[in-house]
Structure 1
């Protein structure tokens, strides 16, 4: 797998899940600006790899700004460093000297039909890779994208989801590049109408701690904001401190003391461990209107008379997602905490 990410809190949980999943071989992690700046994203990824004894995996930076619009980041959602209240030691490893585009193209060309791409941030880097190699979709085994919202409210504007809104022009280019390709090559899109069903609660974090033999880790909405974990297990403490911040954010916005783990769900779709229902569609992205910029529009009925360019996930099983999350992350924390 190749993972392109703008590592905030839910991206971090997705990465830990991938590191804990047997049979998943990460070629590299590529970084894009989104939740925080691209260089902070890279530092987060390096630190998380070292936390889990995976130091040495290539971490590369691509574009530090969107294709055409100014960069907007969201520290209010993910914390100043992108990991909520979690503070990890500065990484000892360095960022790769290679550009993201070179990483993607070399991996796809050296392993044609074998690499699955997972993109949990804005599509800037992948759009640049497509410009350099239009055949990239056919060289990859498949692609999973977390982004968009279809007939569902946005989480950034009334109609736009965060990743797409950060770089709508990149998203438009990516979907256009897939139009008319074989169905099995079309990107699988995990949009808000499914990812917002993945509601992490304090009980899930406590279950991870218990499964790791790390004792109770009980987050409570009654505790003061900013309370930090005292757990001796470093992985459990990192998860707890990151997700506490995310839960506080969701509560501030009237969604309850929960955390939407958008990117964890997309990662499980990419590994094939999470069975989902899909529908074919032709997706396009609004890039001109100040009112609706970043909106993703799906033509399912063929009204545009254009070929499909996406497989949109239409259903999932949140209970199964969290059972798998607890099992995988408990094992990770037990081994590396």
Structure 2
């Protein structure tokens, strides 16, 4: 019943992007991809605590932007903690620094305060009504704070893309809850409540958040052979082999800095998924959401009314979707119902390969 949303001719309109993340291996992959998209202008990168604490998120972002030769992008620190509960990070999933075995020097020393990050969003949206796309691949803490201060944001923004939630699908943190939502369910609940209020006031359906939940992001299942193909696409003379039989923690010897960084980060992610009996693979959730925000990946979506459980111990952080209007409330989100991983990985390979060649030439 959803509308197919896909650009078929490969000519993508320019996207002005506010990107909020908690870098994070798949956040890092998404950021590298966006840096490889010539039609995407990253207006600001805001950091939210999640996979690691917020200072480490900002450090990861600074280092990766420097590698991708995008040091001009402002990096703003958002909230220090979730709205109402203590922060829980994921060193077992993303490594102690958030990017697996990858290492880069942090070439920056400062980042702005939480007020600067949230106020930046609000000021930018007011100054550019209908022009900015927001991509959220972290807990929704910063976005909830921004909506508190400026309830007109749903009208001011061009598009909002959220990676989070699980609907009729097993959670990856509890049996029913997805990680980003579980870290700060109160923030997610506030965000969807704000969009319910906006819908009741006549917000256009195309401005409702596009929600990339585990139902479809886990279809983006990266195999280690992707890194072999990336090295080839980047023009590397040496093969990049990431094998399940390698000792854990084996590091890349690639001469290409981007290939080496992504290989070391993703190897940790492959190992993590194997530890949890999912195979030597990596679910690259945030890349799919980045492709939706950039307009490069096709998908279908269904309107729904979304709410988040914050009271039940058993179901804490669970997202619930009403597709049939049983609550008597208007739709407050568009939940992605299908996508195309095969073409998505082909797109990722082409873009990252071109960026890797460029960085190798410039180094």
Query: What's the TM-score bracket when you normalise by the shorter of the two chains?
Result: over 0.9
Aligned ranges for residues 126-141 of structure 1 at < 5 Å? 126-141=143-158
Are positions 1:206 and 2:223 aligned together?
Answer: no
- Match for residue 303 of structure 1 among 299, 307, 326: 326
Q: How many residues align?
A: 337
Are positions 1:7 and 2:23 aligned together?
Answer: yes
Distance 1:303 1:45 in 2: 42
Provide the residue aligned with 2:249 in structure 1.
Answer: 226
Runs of 4+ residues deviating >4 angstroms: none
Q: Is the 8 A contact 1:248 1:257 kept in 2?
A: yes
Distance 1:165 1:197 in 2: 21
Distance 2:104 2:110 in 1: 15
For residues 295-325 of structure 1, what are the alpha-carbon distances to aligned partners after superposition, in whole Å with 9 as ceiling and x for unaligned? 0000001111110000000000110110000
Provide the residue aligned with 1:21 in structure 2.
Answer: 37
Distance 2:75 2:35 in 1: 14
Partner SS, residue 292 of structure 2? helix
Are positions 1:191 and 2:213 aligned together?
Answer: yes
Aligned ranges for residues 26-41 of structure 1 at < 5 Å? 26-41=42-57
C-alpha RMSD over aligned residues: 0.9
Aligned ranges for residues 157-168 of structure 1 at < 5 Å? 157-168=174-185
- Match for residue 120 of structure 2 among 86, 91, 103: 103
Provide the residue aligned with 1:123 in structure 2.
Answer: 140
Unaligned 5+ runs, structure 2: 1-16
TM-score, normalising length: structure 2: 0.92
How many Å apart are 1:22 and its aligned residue? Answer: 1.6
Partner SS, residue 286 of structure 2? helix
- Match for residue 55 of structure 1 among 66, 71, 78: 71
Q: Is the 8 A contact 2:59 2:108 kept in 1?
A: no
Distance 2:260 2:307 in 1: 41
How many Å apart are 1:203 and its aligned residue? Answer: 1.1
Are positions 1:277 and 2:300 aligned together?
Answer: yes
Partner SS, residue 174 of structure 2? coil
Unaligned 5+ runs, structure 1: none
How many Å apart are 1:99 and its aligned residue? Answer: 2.0
Q: Is the 8 A contact 1:46 1:93 kept in 2?
A: no
